[in-house]
Amino acid sequence: MRFHPVTGRGIRINYRTYDHAILNEHRGRPCPTGPGGKWEVHLNPHDVRQIYLRLPDGHLHEIPWIHRDHVHAPMSETTWRHIRTTLEQRAEREAHEAALAEAADQILRHTRPTTPAPPAAPATAPGTRAGKAVSQAAGGEPAAPHRTAAQAEAEDSLDALDARSPAEDQDDVGADESGALTLPGSGTLTLYDADQEAELW
Q: What are the mean pLDDT values of the chain's consecutive 10-residue runs (201 residues total)?
A: 96 97 97 95 97 96 97 95 91 93 92 57 49 45 46 46 41 41 42 69 57
pLDDT at 191: 62
pLDDT at position 119, please? 60
Q: Where are the domains of the chain?
A: 2-113+152-199
* CA atoms of 3 and 53, how far apart (whole Å): 9
Sign of CA dihedral 53, 55, 58, 64: negative
- Based on the number of CB atoms within 10 Å of its own CB, is 23 exposed (0-12), middle (13-18) or buried (19 or more)? buried
Predicted pLDDT of residue 50: 98
Give residue 194's pLDDT: 73
pLDDT of residue 161: 46
Residues in the chain, overall count: 201
Whether this prediction's pTM lies above 0.75 is answered by no
> What pLDDT, on a 0 to 100 scale, did the predictor assign at position 115?
52
CA angle 3, 9, 13 (to 5 degrees): 40
pLDDT of residue 65: 98
Report the run of H or E that residue 17 belongs to, with start and end.
Answer: strand 16-18
Please tell me the predicted confidence (pLDDT) of residue 114. 52
